[in-house]
Amino acid sequence: MQKEQVARYESYKKACYLLNCIESVLKNLKAQCEVCPCWDAEIKLCTGSPEEKEFKCKLYTIQNTIGVLEQIRRKFIKYLTEVTEGGEQPCLTE
């Protein structure tokens, strides 16, 4: 392999690793969002006790984090597609 190909492959491997990490974190965060029994999606509020309301704040933070991670994930997928010139991306989970 030429130096450029090796560097490209190493970059691809690192991007795949990071993408898989992002996928894992997203999966865990999304699972946490489903835990709140008091979440009212229509009014976007957590109803109930102070503990439930505190959880609502955490839930909101988690949802924002998910949004940011989804953006980063899309950028990684775009990068990996460009690196392989639209070819096979074995590390993609979609």
Query: What are phi and psi for residue 46, nearest 5 degrees?
Result: -95, 120
Q: What's the angle, vertex CA 75, arms to CA 72 and CA 80, rounded to 5?
A: 125
- Distance between CA atoms of residues 78 and 85, nearest Å: 10
Query: For residues 36 and 55, is the Cβ–Cβ distance under 8 A?
Result: yes
Q: Is the pLDDT score of 64 beyond 60?
A: yes
Domain boundaries, the chain: 24-83
Confidence of residue 87 (pLDDT cuts 50, 70, 90): low
pLDDT in tens, 29-42: 777 666 555 555 56
When comparing pLDDT for 58 and 35, which is higher? 58
Instruction: Provide the sign of the torsion angle of the four alpha carbons 10, 12, 17, 21, taken in this order.
Output: positive
